[in-house]
Amino acid sequence: MTPQTEKTEMGMAGAQVGALVRFREHPGLDLSAACEAGDWEAASRINLELATEFPLVDKIRVIALLWIERVWADDISTGIARAAWANTLREQREKLAGLAKRLEQANPIEGAKAKLAGLSARLEAFKPKTAPEPGPEPEPKSEPRFRLDKVATTPVLSKAAPMDSARAFARDRLSKGGVHATYYYRGEWWQWNGRFYEIAPADRIMGEVYDYLDGAVVQTDNGQQRFKPKPEHAEALIKCLKSCVAIHDRDGPPRWLDGSGKPSAENLLVFHDCLVDVETGEVVELTPQLWAHGGVDFAFDPQARCPRWERFLEEIFPGDPESQMTIEEQLGYGMTNDTRFEKGALWVGVKRSGKSTLAWVQERLAGVGACVSLSFHDWMKTENSREHLVGRKVGIFADVRLKPAKSYGLTGYDPGGIDHQSAQLLLNIIGRDKVSLGRKFKKVWEGRLFLKPIITSNEVPNLQDAGGVLVSRFIMVDFKQSFYGREDITLRNQLERELPGIANRCLTAYRRLCARGRFIQPASGRRLVQKVEEKVSPYVAFMNECFVEDRESKGVLVGWFFDTFLQLVSRQSSARSHPQHHQIQPNSGSDEDRTMELAEIIEAPRRAASLRRHQGTGAQFVSSG
């Protein structure tokens, strides 16, 4: 078909539509005149106005649109700049979308939709060879905000009965599927977001109250009249509402609000699409009946796999399946509210060895608001510094740097390390003791925390605890492989995509831990345990450096043992000036009895049983035995 023939058919189509327009007494929309004059821009405008004014009754209307757009596009391709073309093309597509909707609503015509669907492709044929300038990046679509039910009926209230109004408001505005989904707990409003309960700003609740009262009516002698709320009405309703939907301070999460008790609320982990029992793997539907304050932000997929995660564990612990299993057990333990094993995690190793990546994975697996970053330098600073520990599953002390030990002259000594208050609180948290935490402008919180501490460091930390109890509360993993200079900067993105599979493996590891009943210290981390113990006590360091336990040995002479110690402390000033050094070192002449007793010990041919000298000790120290 030649262009002339096409224009002729276009004119005929325009003439027929124009006749239809004149028949409808709208002579101003003269499409045929615009077509005959070759004014295709005006023809397109009139064409769209026709679509707005009249239901489509004839497929001639569609043919006219197709040919007008084609001729107009041909003119554009030869004369208009690229930016103008892009704008025009976008406008035409928007117009076509509107026309398609009107076609469907007015009088569908056989084949019209197919012709409109192919119009974009036909317009692309007339697009200039030079690509148009790229437009702005489209904004990512945000997930629609979850909303509670909103009853459409007009409530009839009484200004003299705020408690009745509060009950009606709770029923009409604070429920989902007939179940209450907003509560007042420990001085704050908590609202279900479709998965778990989160803090709702007081202004949001107040705004809902004003909106509800403003749409309500009151019964008077003259009939029903608008409520017309005042601040005192809203405040009275709020006060009554707190008592209507209050949860007692003792009823902390997680728990079932309906008292069902099955499955155990403490075992349920909130995923994006369901609840999962971490011990049995049972899947439960999301419900506002579960009083829970957090959850993970990805869906549960029992079939998900994580090959990149498995390869990552092998990279940081090559040939060490014991450490790999321990890491997954610790991460799975951190996903739960369980604290029965009374253990924290201590990850120490070289730089760029994967510690921070594992801490990030733990944060994602624990869920929204379940992980908190901590520092030994400020978490004991004020009485309110620890209020953010409430409701958290994991507390991460990242890249710990503690004050080193320091001697002052011959007697002064600062052991460094963590302070005694931090050591005590760590023991309280890990040991499941009841604690009291101050909260700014709120009542003091009392209870047992779910928190499992994780300490990461490049240096062996000094957990200053002479009894060694705090050291025994940690399962230690030694990171020996450094990726400094060969980091994979896309690693976290890859692991992000595998989170459902990682969660499956870590929950499986947690069930393995529960079946075993205890954590196992990896063999590769036992030397790290010794280093931590040596940091705490110079006497442990002395024994580890100079002697080996050997029940077959006849023992070493006590005199040689003591002489070796004196030479060691003369070399290590920190041990020489340690406050407990006087318990072994001979006292000054003022304590003659003690000096004589020590002299007898040194000269006596007694032996320390079950000990033998460490290989090479004799070369380092002069023996007196």
Query: DSSP for 265-292?
Result: GGGEEE-SS-EEETTT--EE---TTEE-
Task: Please check whether residue 65 is in contact with residue 102, taking contact to mean a CB–CB distance below 8 angstroms.
Answer: no
Strands 547-549 and 175-176: unpaired
- In terms of Cβ atoms closer than 10 Å to its own Cβ (0-12, 13-18, 19+), residue 407 is middle
Is the pLDDT assigned to residue 50 strictly greater than 60?
no
Write out the H or E segment, with its range, that includes residue 456: strand 452-457
CA distance 426 to 157: 53
Strands 179-180 and 223-226: unpaired
Residue 64 three-state SS: helix
Task: Please check whether residue 385 is in contact with residue 375, taking contact to mean a CB–CB distance below 8 angstroms.
Answer: no
Q: Which residues of 117-141 are buried (b: 16+ CB within 10 A; e: fewer)?
A: eebeeebeebbeeeebeeeeeeeee
pLDDT value for 548: 73
Q: Give the range with max mean pLDDT: 52-61, 129-138, 475-484, 562-571.
A: 475-484
The DSSP-derived string for 462-504 is ----TTSHHHHTEEEEEE----TT---TTHHHHHHHTHHHHHH
Rg of the chain taking only CA atoms, in angstroms: 39
- What lies within 8 Å, CB to CB, of 486 at 6+ separation is none
- pLDDT digits 0-9 by tens, 209-238: 999 999 999 988 888 899 999 999 999 999
pLDDT value for 307: 96
- Closest by CA to 24, choosing from 69, 62, 58, is 58
CA distance 69 to 64: 9
pLDDT value for 41: 66
Q: Which of 100-109, 257-266, 357-366, 418-427 has the lowest mean pLDDT?
A: 100-109
Residues in the chain: 625
pLDDT value for 532: 85
CA distance 487 to 247: 49
Q: What is the mean pLDDT of residues 534-560?
A: 71
Is the pLDDT assigned to residue 91 strictly greater than 70?
no
Q: What is the mean pLDDT of residues 20-31?
A: 46
CA distances 611 to 532, 549, 567, Å, are: 22, 5, 19
CA distance 208 to 72: 53
Task: Please check whether residue 562 is in contact with residue 623, taking contact to mean a CB–CB distance below 8 angstroms.
Answer: no
Tokens of 498: 């595998």
Is the pLDDT assigned to residue 474 strictly greater than 90?
yes
- What lies within 8 Å, CB to CB, of 252 at 6+ separation is 447
- pLDDT digits 0-9 by tens, 514-533: 999 999 999 998 888 888 88
CA distance 621 to 568: 8
Task: Please check whether residue 335 is in contact with residue 506, taking contact to mean a CB–CB distance below 8 angstroms.
Answer: yes
- pLDDT digits 0-9 by tens, 236-253: 999 999 999 999 888 888
CA distance 306 to 288: 32
Q: Alpha-carbon dihedral of residues 410, 416, 419, 424, nearest 10 degrees?
A: -90
Largest CA distance in the chain: 131
pLDDT value for 407: 72
Tokens of 460: 């062996």
Residue 307: Cβ within 10 Å count: 10
Q: Give the range with max mean pLDDT: 98-112, 323-337, 601-615.
A: 323-337
CA distance 279 to 262: 13
CA distance 534 to 537: 5
> By percentage, how much of the chain surpasses pLDDT 90?
43
Is the pLDDT assigned to residue 309 strictly greater than 70?
yes
Tokens of 211: 């909106």
Tokens of 182: 């907003």
- pLDDT digits 0-9 by tens, 165-194: 999 999 999 988 888 999 999 889 999 999
Residue 453 three-state SS: strand
Strands 435-439 and 275-277: unpaired
- pLDDT digits 0-9 by tens, 149-159: 777 788 999 99
pLDDT value for 530: 84
Q: What are the structural domains, with CATH classification, of the chain?
A: 3-124 (no CATH), 147-293 (no CATH), 309-533 (3.40.50), 537-620 (no CATH)
| One-letter identity of residue 416 | G
Task: Please check whether residue 276 is in contact with residue 283, taking contact to mean a CB–CB distance below 8 angstroms.
Answer: yes
Instruction: Sheet containing 217-220: give its strands across.
Output: 156-157, 217-220, 223-226
With DSSP H G I counted as helix, E B as strand and the rest as coil, what are the percentages for the chain, rounded to 5?
A: 45, 15, 40
Task: Please check whether residue 621 is in contact with residue 546, taking contact to mean a CB–CB distance below 8 angstroms.
Answer: yes
pLDDT value for 87: 58
Place of tokens 């994979």: 488
Is the pLDDT assigned to residue 136 strictly greater than 90?
no
pLDDT value for 468: 80
CA distance 461 to 529: 11
Q: What is the mean pLDDT of residues 386-391?
A: 89
Residue 619 — pLDDT band, cuts 50, 70, 90?
A: very low
Write out the H or E segment, with its range, that includes residue 173: helix 162-173
Task: Please check whether residue 413 is in contact with residue 407, taking contact to mean a CB–CB distance below 8 angstroms.
Answer: yes
